Structure 1
Amino acid sequence: MSDTPARPVEAGKPSSPRPNAVVAVLALAGIVVSLMQTLVIPIVPELPKLLHAEASDTAWAVTATLLAAAVATPMVGRLGDMFGKRRMLLVSILLLVSGSVVCALAESLVPMIIGRALQGLAAAVVPLGISIMRDTLPADRLAGSTALMSASLGVGGAIGLPAAAFIADRWDWHLLFWTSAVLGAVSLALVMLIVPESKVRTGGRFDLVGSLGLSAGLLSLLLAISKGGDWGWTSVTTLGLGAAAVVILLAWGFYELKAKQPLVDLRTTAKPQVLFTNLASIALGFSMFAMSLVIPQLLQLPEQTGYGLGKSMLTVGLVLAPQGLVMMVMSAASAAVTKAKGPKVTLMIGALIVAAGYALNIVLMSEVWHLVLVSCVIGAGVGFTYGALPALIMGAVDPSQTGAANSLNTLMRSLGTSFASALAGVILAQMTTDFGGHALPSENGFKVVMAIGAGAALLAFALAALIPRRHAPAGPTSVADRPAPAPEAVADQQV
């Protein structure tokens, strides 16, 4: 543990002389990382042939990214608080580039899984970027900038799907990963040139035991959720992993409460503002991912079913692409509402918009323009919620804990999407219709998933309503605008 005292940014002087450039570069990095979530979707049906493997095995090309992201996000956030957020941001982007190159050179399953896992390890880029903004930007820029950075998760996914489908349809599939490697390298260079390092550090020792315990618990939980449909929800493997997850996570929580320098400060996460924000994030992650499961299938199912639209994957991407632009636009509106009414109100508005979008989808699902409209309405709600979540988290934790706290919140959203995938898969597998001797998801099955998505958004609204109302000015305070601490206080804060 270093004896160097923490060096806060001088009061009133943000460390970055180019805030617009910093925001643009960090948002670009977030978009590039979020592209990884949709990059492989257009070629998933072809992976068994391309990699000479069974379909059940090639599914690990998707699962590996999910598991790696879940494990890496909280640990990288904590390392960023300890050793420098920019430093860990660069490491994360470098892992993304490395994983992209490995996938671009892959001709078989094992290197593809390794490359996709390396890409998943870069998932902490967005929470790290948000934390850097808090440490380096003036307060009047913070709400809009963090909302834009948070929205980059949705923007990258919306843009990535049509772009990936276009490339996969016309060129060799390896070009998908060479493209992501180039984009990652550009982001890496820009971060090195433009983004300043935050001077806010916690120091201390890394909680290796806590990180191993959390990793084991998350891996057990997510494997049970993501593979339960293939293994059988009542199989010994699925139930055993679920039970192991419960035991390991309970033991991990007990250990973290006793640890002097825990990986996750559970006492901070138990604060009502942090707790209810994280619970709302799980519900929102569930709700937002339900749309990603329903709309592509409705578009691609045969017209002869009576409710499918018989479109290509490229059309699916084009239908979902406007959603990304809506998210970006609404991030500015989210920031304005946060400044005027506080992030709690912003989150509640966003959750209601998402619920309204799903309700609309139940009655409007027979035309392409119906699904474009629905995705844009839900995207508008997502833009509001993504902007509010980091503001609520950073408004409740110490600046030295923002990397870990934002990363944990991102993990909560990821857990929500995993639950959505599992539950929607069960519903659509059970509620089927016969089509030419094949069982396809029924129209009522899709409507049930959409109704559950609306219910999850309303649950997020109710959880957001429980967040305590703050009497101080809403939103996070920029470290750049905070008064400098007294010299004796600085001397007591060891890195």
Structure 2
Amino acid sequence: MTAASVAAEDRRTESLTRTLLAIALVVAVAGSLGSPLITSVATTLHVSLAAAQWTLTVSLLVGAVATPVLGRLGTGARRRPVVVGTLGVIVFGSVLTVLPLSFPVLIVGRAAQGCGLALLPLLMAAAREHLDAARSAATVAMISVASTVGVGIGYPLAGYLTDVGGIRAAYGAGLVGTTIALLAAARAFPDSRQAAAPPPDAAASVLLGGGLLVLLFVLGEAGLWQHHPAVAVGLVVAALVLLAAWVWRERVSPAPLVDLRLLRHHAVAAANAAMLIAGAGMYLLLSCITRYVQTPHAAGYGFGLSTFTAGLFLVPFSILGFIAGRISPRLRMRVSAPALLSCATVVVLAAFVVFATVRGTLAGPLVAMSSLGFGVGVFSAAMPAVILAVTPAQETASAMGVNQVVRSIGFSVGSTLSALLLAASTPAGAVFPDESGYGTAAWMGAAVTVVALGLTVSGASWSRRYSV
């Protein structure tokens, strides 16, 4: 190979890496715009806070349901058209969010934006196919990190733009970003050399989609657990029945959505279980810190920060998460991916301990949020390496799609758990919970994280003994 061809190949590789990371970051930022705008949506469009909450919930639901389906549909030769087409849907949804129309139109737009969460496994599959081993591992790690780092960018950006120009300005930033991502994908996203997989099984797609839809809905509705626990339990049972039927269908289908045989590998099973439990803990702490610092001084604790200022609390979370993602490939030269996963879980555990014990000044929550960002960054970067080490290249999107869904379920559990714990510590007639409620939530999150640590240590031990 000549020097000129080597230089051209390097430029192509750099362009693809930038494109994949840009798409991942943009869809993450667009997806995160729901949470910080809930109050503003309620006041601007004259709906209840519970209704406004659906601007976040609907995107998470659609993303979780679409991820395994698009992961299978986009396997092989169909990957490029699926990615570009999905970005087109996201741009269309972004247009709906900025139009001066009704609340239902906004919900439809947010639902379309939720499809962006389904793109991450496809981006990882493209990196794994078209980049060399070292660059592929680093890019896959950063794509995973970008999905978390984007939250720390989206929160303060949405808060600032809302203060300056209202919710349409905030959603307008999402439209600009997703349009750029669509143009970049149309220009630089490569065609796959792999054969196209059979189309997704319709029955399996309906069963999985229905099960996830019901499960994530009930897990995200804290009020349902508070006021109608029997209904909530009934919905969980219904969701589990649908998911059990999906597993049966997958076992007999010649073209399953997910190759369930991959989950038999102990390291993969332990990694996904750890993602579920650690994801719940991570989101619990993120929710508690954000809510704590916004509590007014009149409550006897808290710092009374505005939505925008509280959003700035997530900047160190994102910065340290990004740094962690960048250095993780170097750390993996000395430490295995499963062991690195365990180390990241220890850092997240330390963040819980800091928040549980040091909340009297802003420094405590700030250190806890920063530690959480670094731990989540390493965790997110190491997770794909653990799973893909035993996953065939053609199953990358499917395997990481499962992990993405598991993470969504964990986040939903964490969000609901934080709401329930704080509600339980709120005196009758009071607006804000007792300060001790945050300590209880932090220690419970620490206990959950210890369980996740045990799973990562188990996976690391198995990986050393039976590496493949």
When normalised by structure 2's length, the TM-score is 0.93
- The CA distance in 2 between the partners of 1:237 and 1:228, in whole Å, is 12
CA contact (8 A) 1:71 1:214 kept: yes
Match of 1:450 in 2: 442
Tell me by how many angstroms 1:196 deviates. Answer: 1.8
Kindly provide the amino acid, as one letter, of the partner of residue 434 in structure 2.
Answer: S
SS in 2 for 1:466: helix
- The CA distance in 1 between the partners of 2:177 and 2:279, in whole Å, is 26
Q: Which has a greater percent of helix? A: 2
Q: Runs of 4+ in structure 1 displaced over 4 angstroms? A: 12-17, 470-474
Kindly provide the amino acid, as one letter, of the partner of residue 152 in structure 1.
Answer: A
When normalised by structure 1's length, the TM-score is 0.88
Match of 1:27 in 2: 21
Query: Measured at CA, do residues 80 and 471 of structure 1 come closer, stay the same or move farther in structure 2, by a change above 3 Å?
Result: farther
Within a 5 Å distance, the mapping from 1:45-124 to structure 2 comes to: 45-124=39-118
Kindly indicate whether residue 307 of structure 2 is the aligned counterpart of residue 313 of structure 1. Answer: yes
The superposition leaves residues 50-81 of structure 1 with CA deviations (integer Å, 9 ceiling, x where unpaired) of 22333332322222111101100111111121
Once the two structures are overlaid, the 10-residue window that deviates more, 159-168 or 54-63, is: 54-63
> What is the aligned residue count?
461
Match of 1:290 in 2: 284
Query: Measured at CA, do residues 233 and 82 of structure 1 come closer, stay the same or move farther in structure 2, by a change above 3 Å?
Result: farther
- The CA distance in 1 between the partners of 2:88 and 2:125, in whole Å, is 19
CA contact (8 A) 1:319 1:368 kept: no
Tell me by how many angstroms 1:344 deviates. Answer: 0.5
CA contact (8 A) 1:330 1:384 kept: yes
Of 400, 425, 430, the residue aligned with 1:438 is 430
Query: Measured at CA, do residues 430 and 54 of structure 1 come closer, stay the same or move farther in structure 2, by a change above 3 Å?
Result: same
CA contact (8 A) 2:128 2:136 kept: yes
Of 195, 202, 209, the residue aligned with 1:208 is 202
The superposition leaves residues 232-266 of structure 1 with CA deviations (integer Å, 9 ceiling, x where unpaired) of 46455423322211211111111111111111121
Query: Measured at CA, do residues 88 and 59 of structure 1 come closer, stay the same or move farther in structure 2, by a change above 3 Å?
Result: same
- The CA distance in 2 between the partners of 1:464 and 1:235, in whole Å, is 32
Kindly indicate whether residue 456 of structure 2 is the aligned counterpart of residue 464 of structure 1. Answer: yes
- State, as a whole percentage, how many aligned pairs show the same letter: 28
Query: Measured at CA, do residues 175 and 289 of structure 1 come closer, stay the same or move farther in structure 2, by a change above 3 Å?
Result: same
Q: Choose between structure 1 and 2 for higher RCO, CA contacts under 8 A separated by at least 6 residues.
A: 1
The superposition leaves residues 118-140 of structure 1 with CA deviations (integer Å, 9 ceiling, x where unpaired) of 01112122222112111111112
SS in 2 for 1:307: coil
Once the two structures are overlaid, the 10-residue window that deviates more, 229-238 or 260-269, is: 229-238
CA contact (8 A) 1:162 1:317 kept: yes
Of 169, 175, 184, the residue aligned with 2:169 is 175
The superposition leaves residues 299-335 of structure 1 with CA deviations (integer Å, 9 ceiling, x where unpaired) of 1111122321111111111111111111111112211
- The CA distance in 2 between the partners of 1:459 and 1:472, in whole Å, is 23
Within a 5 Å distance, the mapping from 1:261-276 to structure 2 comes to: 261-276=255-270
CA contact (8 A) 2:78 2:196 kept: no
CA contact (8 A) 2:344 2:379 kept: yes
Once the two structures are overlaid, the 10-residue window that deviates more, 278-287 or 105-114, is: 105-114
CA contact (8 A) 1:14 1:136 kept: no
The superposition leaves residues 77-126 of structure 1 with CA deviations (integer Å, 9 ceiling, x where unpaired) of 11121443333222222222111111111432211111111011121222
Once the two structures are overlaid, the 10-residue window that deviates more, 154-163 or 142-151, is: 142-151
**What are structure 1's unaligned runs of at least 5 residues?**
1-11, 475-495
Of 114, 117, 126, the residue aligned with 2:120 is 126
Kindly provide the amino acid, as one letter, of the partner of residue 369 in structure 1.
Answer: A
Of 149, 152, 156, the residue aligned with 1:155 is 149
- The CA distance in 1 between the partners of 2:284 and 2:330, in whole Å, is 28
Kindly indicate whether residue 390 of structure 2 is the aligned counterpart of residue 396 of structure 1. Answer: yes
SS in 2 for 1:123: helix
CA contact (8 A) 1:16 1:137 kept: no
Tell me by how many angstroms 1:38 deviates. Answer: 2.7
Query: Measured at CA, do residues 145 and 277 of structure 1 come closer, stay the same or move farther in structure 2, by a change above 3 Å?
Result: same
Tell me by how many angstroms 1:379 deviates. Answer: 0.8
- The CA distance in 2 between the partners of 1:181 and 1:40, in whole Å, is 14
Match of 1:9 in 2: none
CA contact (8 A) 1:92 1:122 kept: yes
Please report the RMSD computed on the Cα atoms of aligned residues, expressed in angstroms. Answer: 2.2
- The CA distance in 2 between the partners of 1:109 and 1:231, in whole Å, is 26
- The CA distance in 1 between the partners of 2:445 and 2:87, in whole Å, is 32
Match of 2:3 in 1: none
Match of 2:352 in 1: 358
